[in-house]
Every structure is written in C-alpha cells, then in structure tokens.
Structure 1
Amino acid sequence: MLTNKGTLIPIGGNEDKGTEENEQYTLEFIDEGILYHVVREAGGSDAKIVVIPTASSIPVEVGENYLEAFSTLGCENVTVLDIRSKADSEKQESIDLITSANCIMFSGGDQSKITDKIGGTKIHEIIRHRYKNEKGFVVAGTSAGAMMMSQEMIAGGSATESFIKGAVNMYKGLSLIPGLIIDTHFIKRGRFGRISEAVAKFPKLIGIGLAEDTGMIIKNNKCRVIGSGMVIIFDGRRIKHNNHKILSPGTPMSLTNMRTHILSNGDSFHIDKKKVKVLAIEAPFI
C-alpha cells in the first residue's frame, strides 16, 4: 500500500463540541477534545478550515455548530461550504476553498449524500490528490463524514438483525482509504453485526468500529486512537469458515477465526502490518 502524505481523522459521531458551561469541561475540550486534535494536525488555530455539512438534513444549523466549536478553539479562519448538488461541487468558489484549505471537515448525516453530490466531481479529485501528496493536509469527518472515507462504504443496514445476511447495505465511498471499512456510533447502536457482514463480504479489508466521541488519526498507514471511547478492529484475513457467499438473504451467517482488537485512547493499529500497539497500563491518559 502506498503511503499518503496527508492525514485522515475519522470520528465515530457525537464528538464533544465544547458546549457545556462548566469551566473545567471547557478546558478539557480545548486541551484534549477530538476537534482540538483536528486543529493541531491541521497546523494550529491559524489553519484554514472548511466545514462541509452536505450529509446533514439541517446543514445550516450544523455549520453554525462547527463555527462555534472551532471558535472556542481559537480558530477564526473557518468557512462553511454548503454543497447541495453536484453542480455546487464544480463551482469555482468551491474549488478555490478546497484548494486553499488546510483541513476539510465533513459533518454527520447520510453518507450517501456525500458520495452522490461530491463523488466524481472536481473537488473530490482535489481532495484525493491533496491527501495523497500534501503533508499536513487534513480530511476529518464525523459519523457519515467518516464512513464515506472508505472505498467499500456502509450505506445503511439493520443493527437489530445482527449477523444476518443482508443486514448491511454497501455503496461506493470516496476511496480516500480503500483498505478500511468504517462504521460509527458503533457501541451505542450495536453495529457489530453489520460490520461483521461487511468484512465477510470483503475479507481482505479491515473493519473499523468507532464509538461516539472517539476517532483515529491516520498518518503513514498508522491509526492512533483519540477521544473518550473505544475502537474495535475487525480483521478477517484469517477467517477459516465464511458462508456469506452461499447464503440466502435473511439467513444467519457463520464466521470463524475473525480476529478482533479493542483499542482506546493512545493505542494504535498499523494498516499494512496489521499490528496493534497498546499503551502500557501505567502510561498517562493522552
């Protein structure tokens, strides 16, 4: 796998935006929160950040929330790019913003809206080119904005019908990181079954389940966990029994030897080497 020079930060959704009134809580958000890491990776509070709320059904409100959150972190050069059609993705204004930004931040919502309105357009091409070639360029995304980063993208599916063939719907994402399949709100919404099916369908890919207020900083094919929750890694390369291909929809699946890892803040996973590194028990929380 070729190393991309840029940085990806997929987030599991519902990340802290520093809206609590308690002073200590606000200080923790500024010093330790996920958006703090986004800003730091993008070069600090002077970074030019473009927020894209395309996935959301309330893009104006979502954009305003991110403007306030980034302002709390001292960022003044933040713009909301409200793309609602493929034509918007081809406008020169959109192209100029994406070309000059240090960080692109995709909101949550419906990931299919991102792929339908941005996929295959000029700004999609620019984002992929810059992520591949520019050190320090950051693409961050929460919930839908994280899931669309993969090539084989989870577009939906029932969590209540876990481990049943057909519980997951797949679609093509923006292919920023083809080796992963990303799911979000993972613990709270019980999405173990649908990512298991996704990995059963694509056993050479690594499944990543992100809890809420939890993310990963992906640089040089290495993923480091940030935030308050857990990341579950699903490695299907050594599956010994996988009957997904022969089953009818609605039938329970059988999978054996699916490797899983549970990681938390500061732990890491190397995409190429498929190796996990965890912090020592006595290591400080970061």
Structure 2
Amino acid sequence: MTVKGILIPIGGNEDKGLVAKPSYKMDFISDGILSHVVKESGGTKANILVLPAASSIPEEVGDNYIQAFKTLGCNNVKVLHIKKRKHADKPEFLEALKQADCVMFSGGDQRKISAKIYGSEFHKLLTEKYQHEAFVIAGTSAGAMAMAKEMISGGSSKEAFIKGAVQMSQGLELIPELIIDTHFIQRGRFGRQSEAVAKFPKLLGIGLAEDTGLIIKNGKDIKVIGSGMAIVFDPQHIGHNNEKVLREGTPMTMTNLIVHILANGDRFDIETREVKVLPIEAPFV
C-alpha cells in the first residue's frame, strides 16, 4: 500500500522563534523545522492540531506552539488536551481531527501518548488519514519516538552498550520499520539505540539531534531537515549479536553495524537503505 501522508519526527528543542540562540540555526521563517511542517501541511491556511498529551505542562506547551505557528503566519491552530484515555474518543476531538491538515505531538513522556491514544478511535482515524490522505503528522522528542511500533520508552543514557540500558514498549505503529530516539547527541544515546537495534535487527534505528528532523514521504523516502545531524543505524549486515544470550548489566557485542551520519538536505531510502548525500558544491544553508 502506498502511504499518502507525511511524517515529520523531530529530535526535540526545535526552534520556535521565541528566543535567540547563539549557536548555528536555520532561519526560523524560511528554513526552520516548524516552517517545513507548515509547508508540508499546505501553507499558512492549514488546520493544525497541537497535542501536548505527553507533556506535564500541556497548557504552557500548547501556548508556545500557538505562538510559534502564529509567527509563521498560521491562525488555524488548535490545542487538543487529551488528558485521559477516554478523552481520545470525544466526538468534538474526532471531528477536529477529521478537519485537520496536520497534527503536532509535543515532547514529554512518550508512554503517555501510547497510553492515552493507542487503540482508540482517535488513533484509528489518525492512522487512516496518514495512510490515505495528504496529511502531516509531526512530533518532537516524545512525539517523534511514539511514531514507531517498537518504541523506546526509557533507559540509561550513561551506559555504553550494556544490556538493559534501553526499555521498549508499544508505540503508535505509524512507521514500524524505524526505532526513533531523540535528543540524541546532547544526551549521549548512542548506546541505548545500539541495544534497541540489537533487540530488533530487522529494523532501522534513527537518532535525531535537537533542532533536527526528518520529512518521511511514501512511508520510505527520508529527507533530513534542521541544524543538526541524524544518525542511521542499519543492522542488516551484522555478523555477531549476543543480545539474546546475555544477562542484564553485561556489556554487549555487535559487529558490522552500519552507521550513517546525515545532515540537512541528505536523503535515505528505508526500502533500499541507500543514502543520497547533498553534494559538496550545493549551497550551505
């Protein structure tokens, strides 16, 4: 089946145009990650739903996104507060989703997204729209991680490839081929993503730095956006993987793991696992 929708997972702490950052960043209006979300959703007249279901401060998070999208020229932005599982099937929430061009999941605790939404009528409608319509699902941090089927739900960032450093649980199954981790560089999560792909060696691992995202079209075509890096873990040719036989707390071994480090404009095909790197002579943006 050809997927018509677009996924935009984001590594967290994306520029919202609220404060100046001293480090390198994209121009917020023309090239920032949220500007890509708006463009892929159909432009400034798009109906955008913000879901801060993962957040412990949902009202504040919702207000920040309304302001950020308003700065980009969007006025059709609504926040849905799904605070409990039963809220996901409210008729007014389902109607809002039917009319939406884009849903934006905030950061927080990805387990809350799954607990409140997975298997609900809202989840079913969200999946149908993604599969059959030109519909955008964006998510930052927890909202990005929840897109997977095998979702990283916790674990130590300090352990360097120790069995038990990663905890997995049920995600929303929007992109079952991927395992997504976020804040990847800033929080040193190489070890736990390595264990995740050791557990599921038929899947691809994606580690997203902050203010970095992916545009995923057709369920397979990836383009990197934002100011940081995306790291792809491809275990298809691993020659040794002792994850299944070790006790928790034991250092692990995995050989021939392919790792790609990609940046803004680079592309990756989930089906063929081919990389297309932006030419060196291309303009630096």
Provide the TM-score with structure 1 as the length reference. 0.97
Deviation at 1:3, TM superposition (A): 2.9
**What code does the residue aligned with 2:239 have?**
K
Counterpart for residue 171 of structure 2? 173
Counterpart contact for 2:49–2:102, Cα < 8 Å: yes
Matched, 1:90 2:96: no
**Residue pairs, 1:117-136, within 5 angstroms:** 117-135=116-134
Identical amino acids, percent of aligned pairs = 62
Counterpart contact for 2:26–2:32, Cα < 8 Å: no
Runs of 4+ aligned residues of structure 1 deviating over 2 Å after TM superposition are none
Matched, 1:39 2:38: yes
Counterpart contact for 2:25–2:227, Cα < 8 Å: no
Determine the C-alpha separation between the residues in 2 that align with 1:188 and 1:145.
18
Determine the C-alpha separation between the residues in 2 that align with 1:26 and 1:275.
27
Moved more, 140-149 or 12-21: 12-21
Tell me the SS of whatever aligns to 2:28. Answer: helix
Deviation at 1:100, TM superposition (A): 0.8
Counterpart contact for 1:52–1:105, Cα < 8 Å: yes
Counterpart contact for 2:208–2:230, Cα < 8 Å: yes
Matched, 1:242 2:245: no
Matched, 1:145 2:143: yes
Determine the C-alpha separation between the residues in 2 that align with 1:285 and 1:38.
21
Counterpart contact for 1:240–1:256, Cα < 8 Å: yes
Counterpart for residue 256 of structure 1? 255
Among 152, 158, 179, the residue aligned to 1:160: 158
Q: 1:101 to 1:195 in 2, by over 3 A?
A: same
State the Cα deviation string for residues 8-47 of structure 1 (Å, max 9, x = none): 000000000001369xx99920111000000000000000
Q: CA RMSD in A?
A: 1.4
Determine the C-alpha separation between the residues in 1 that align with 2:263 and 2:81.
33
Provide the TM-score with structure 2 as the length reference. 0.97
Deviation at 1:165, TM superposition (A): 0.3
**What code does the residue aligned with 1:75 have?**
C
Q: 1:27 to 1:285 in 2, by over 3 A?
A: closer
The answer for unaligned runs of 5 or more in structure 1 is none
**What code does the residue aligned with 1:190 have?**
G
Counterpart for residue 194 of structure 1? 192
**Residue pairs, 1:265-284, within 5 angstroms:** 265-284=264-283
**What code does the residue aligned with 1:45 have?**
T
Q: 1:30 to 1:134 in 2, by over 3 A?
A: same
Determine the C-alpha separation between the residues in 1 that align with 2:261 and 2:65.
29
The answer for unaligned runs of 5 or more in structure 2 is none
